[in-house]
Structure 1
Amino acid sequence: MKRFISSKISIQILLVVMFSFVTTMALVFKLLGGLLRGYILHYHSEHVDAVLVTIFHIIITMAGMITFIGIFYFMTNKKIKYIKHISEKVKEIATGNIGYTIEVKGNDEIAELCNSINTMSLELKEKFDQERENEKIKNDLITNVSHDLRTPLTSIIGYLELIKDHKFQDEKSMDEYSISAYNTSIKMKKLINQLFEYTKLCSIDFQLNKESVDLSLLINQIVGEYTPIFEKNELRIEEKTEDTELIVNIDIDQFMRVLDNLLSNALKYAHKYSTVVVEAYKLENKVKIIVKNKGDYIPEDEINKIFDRLYRIDKSRQDSLESSGIGLSIAKRIIDLHGGTIWANCENDNIWINILI
């Protein structure tokens, strides 16, 4: 069947040639019969016979050739025009009109060629648009992070200048300046690392290393790691997972980074003495994860902007390093790469971050 389909054009050409030949022969025999009948009725001599036979041969040959060419051209002209049309459109795509598609006619190899060209054109457009979007993301991110780094960098320089110029009252003041400069520089380093991480995730060449794993084990691990940190900050963390295995196909390192960023965010913005709940359960053929905490109300029209790299969760905070939303942007990018979805809900002081994967 496949060999038959792959020979559609060959069969069409063969049928055109056969039809042209049969039609030509029918016309030739009809013409020849008419000439012979006329000759028999009006002329008949050996000399005339030889001359007429030669003339007949010439006439028949010319008539046959002209008829064959005419029929063949008439029947193939439509295909030739279509091939020229395809050639013109391919040149148009080659000159930069990426994403342009050609109208597909018929169901033969030429139609398959058009489908292949259309697929290629759309894939090129998708890749081009993705690269352009990634470039815009990088530029916006660099601009935003540069702005975030300016204030703390000025602060560090100020502290170091005070120490350099000995403008401190005592050793205790100098230690305070040194500690403040050090802590701010650590935050800057963290933000810069996040910038590089996000840039890497946005690269078109980035690949996930997926493997099957029980998600409840990962959640149990990271909740255990964060429990003493939460307690130190007068918060509680609680895990709620099903007894059954929650098998998912994920990049473990990247997904742990998602959970880490979500819990870091909850640690930063949850109300004191409240409980952060990490929940996971099966939902049809997927797994849903919820990180829930009590925090300041976020309006409905802004709640899902928290995943935007330029959005600040708490605009009143003066510490631009602490309020930068790049951690949640990284989480969203990783979930997107896994083909999952991440979104947020807020009701009064209850905030949920949901993941479906």
Structure 2
Amino acid sequence: MKFDKVTILLSFQWIVMTVLFIMFKDVKAYSILLFLIVNVISVTLLNNHLKFRKRLSELNVELTRAKKGHFHTRLLANDDHLVNDIIFSLNELIEQLENLHSDKIKSEAARKSLLSSISHDIRTPLTSIIGYIDAIKDDIATTQTEKEEYIEIVSKKSIQLKCLIEELFNLAKLDADELPMNFEQVDFAEITREILIEFLPQLKNLGIKIEVEIPDSACTITADQFSVVRILENLIKNAIQYGQQGKVLGVTLFDVDCEYQLTVWDKGPGLSKEDLEHVFEKMYRVDSSRNLSSGGSGLGLAIAKSLTEKNNGRIWVKSTPFFLTSFTIALPKSESYTIKK
């Protein structure tokens, strides 16, 4: 252990006092007593200082372990209250570092999974488009009807690919906090009615009954209108996509304390416990074998969650398979709204 200035000075003081005591043996008793007291104090200070230095050295070893990636390391407290306060703070920092490292690993795994899913979802329709175009070029489609069918397939695949790229672009802007938000007072009930009207033809074609419970009075919220529209569209599309077997889609809007809660529900196959834990993750699909044409992009609910949170709201899901699956968003009323930093 290297000696610091305090250790050297205390040691020097003790040596000097000892030498003086030997040199002046005939001094008065009270002087001897005073000398002994000072000497004991010096020895005690030196001993405590050396213990403190040893303790700091031990802490440094443990911190070095944590710095090298041993994030389960925790520093042990002792009887020194001042040191204990520092130890508690250091343990909190190590715990935060451990959480950050864990989040980094999860984020990296999610990034790789996302890239893999994106690659698959882009490559699949693109391969199909190229295949049908080559078939048209090579005159594999012998009749005009076949050519028109091929062109129609190419058109649908191209639209799917365009929608996927747009969703990826919007999600990237949301993650980077670059999507402009124009907060204003809007009528939540009126927006919901307008969105539902747009889906009525599709619901009718699929034979899905709609049950709506929306107040006649205005339900004023302070939000970005584009975001609210996008959230509702995504939730309704999701309910139609996965719940159409139940042949009913419901939308309810309730006044609950200082917020309005809107629920989109269906009676389809629903979600398992595992699905409930991951349903808002990017590119997650309830059935991993589904492709773009049958299972959606896996981005709709992730976008809905992100937009809801940016509007100072909450979103959650509940599901009892073939009985009721519901997605609920809660947005604060205008009078209780505070802009989220």
TM-score, normalization by structure 2: 0.68
1:351 corresponds to which residue?
325
CA 1:282–1:103 in structure 2 vs 1: closer, same or farther (change >3 Å)? Answer: farther
Q: Does 1:298 align with 2:270?
A: yes
Per the TM alignment, residue 180 of structure 1 is displaced from its structure 2 partner at its CA by 1.4
Does structure 2 conserve the Cα–Cα contact (< 8 Å) formed by 1:246 and 1:281? no
Q: Does 1:221 align with 2:191?
A: yes
Per the TM alignment, residue 290 of structure 1 is displaced from its structure 2 partner at its CA by 1.3
- Output one character per residue of 1:264-309: Cα deviation in whole Å (capped at 9) or x when no partner: 2123344389553322334456653311124x32364466254455
What one-letter code is carried by the residue in structure 2 that aligns with 1:328? L
In 1, distance between residues paired with 2:169 and 2:183?
A: 27
Per the TM alignment, residue 258 of structure 1 is displaced from its structure 2 partner at its CA by 3.0
- Output one character per residue of 1:89-139: Cα deviation in whole Å (capped at 9) or x when no partner: 22222222346432345443x444334333332323322322321221121
CA 1:208–1:252 in structure 2 vs 1: closer, same or farther (change >3 Å)? Answer: farther
CA 1:242–1:83 in structure 2 vs 1: closer, same or farther (change >3 Å)? Answer: farther
Does structure 1 conserve the Cα–Cα contact (< 8 Å) formed by 2:187 and 2:221? no
What one-letter code is carried by the residue in structure 1 that aligns with 2:316? I
In 2, distance between residues paired with 1:36 and 1:153?
A: 104
CA 1:146–1:286 in structure 2 vs 1: closer, same or farther (change >3 Å)? Answer: same
2:42 corresponds to which residue?
69
CA 1:155–1:188 in structure 2 vs 1: closer, same or farther (change >3 Å)? Answer: same
For the aligned residues, what is the CA RMSD?
Answer: 4.4
Per the TM alignment, residue 314 of structure 1 is displaced from its structure 2 partner at its CA by 5.8
- Output one character per residue of 1:131-153: Cα deviation in whole Å (capped at 9) or x when no partner: 32122112112222333344322
Does structure 2 conserve the Cα–Cα contact (< 8 Å) formed by 1:198 and 1:330? yes
1:81 corresponds to which residue?
54
Matches within 5 A, 1:1-357: 36=28, 66-98=39-71, 100-105=73-78, 106-108=80-82, 110-198=83-171, 206=177, 217-218=187-188, 220-234=190-204, 236=210, 238-241=212-215, 243=217, 245=219, 254=227, 256-271=229-244, 274-283=247-256, 287-294=260-267, 296-298=268-270, 300-301=272-273, 304=276, 306-307=279-280, 309=282, 311-313=284-286, 319-324=291-296, 325-332=298-305, 340-355=314-329
Structure 1: runs of 5 or more not aligned: 1-12, 38-55
Q: How many residue pairs get matched?
A: 306
Per the TM alignment, residue 162 of structure 1 is displaced from its structure 2 partner at its CA by 1.9
What one-letter code is carried by the residue in structure 2 that aligns with 1:298? G
Does structure 1 conserve the Cα–Cα contact (< 8 Å) formed by 2:129 and 2:157? yes
- Output one character per residue of 1:28-50: Cα deviation in whole Å (capped at 9) or x when no partner: 99xx998647xxxxxxxxxxxxx
- Output one character per residue of 1:69-94: Cα deviation in whole Å (capped at 9) or x when no partner: 21212344443333223322222222
In 2, distance between residues paired with 1:233 and 1:224?
A: 15
What one-letter code is carried by the residue in structure 2 that aligns with 1:354? T
In 2, distance between residues paired with 1:33 and 1:282?
A: 93
Q: Tell me the SS of whatever aligns to 1:292.
A: strand
1:5 corresponds to which residue?
none
Q: Tell me the SS of whatever aligns to 1:297.
A: coil
TM-score, normalization by structure 1: 0.66
Structure 2: runs of 5 or more not aligned: 1-5, 332-341
What one-letter code is carried by the residue in structure 2 that aligns with 1:188? L
What one-letter code is carried by the residue in structure 2 that aligns with 1:159? Y
Does structure 1 conserve the Cα–Cα contact (< 8 Å) formed by 2:250 and 2:264? yes
Does structure 2 conserve the Cα–Cα contact (< 8 Å) formed by 1:277 and 1:291? yes
Does structure 2 conserve the Cα–Cα contact (< 8 Å) formed by 1:156 and 1:181? yes
What one-letter code is carried by the residue in structure 2 that aligns with 1:344? K
Does structure 2 conserve the Cα–Cα contact (< 8 Å) formed by 1:103 and 1:114? yes
2:336 corresponds to which residue?
none
Does structure 2 conserve the Cα–Cα contact (< 8 Å) formed by 1:262 and 1:331? yes
Does structure 1 conserve the Cα–Cα contact (< 8 Å) formed by 2:271 and 2:319? no
Does structure 2 conserve the Cα–Cα contact (< 8 Å) formed by 1:303 and 1:344? no
Identity, % of aligned positions: 22
CA 1:122–1:149 in structure 2 vs 1: closer, same or farther (change >3 Å)? Answer: same
Deviates more, 1:299-308 or 1:346-355: 299-308
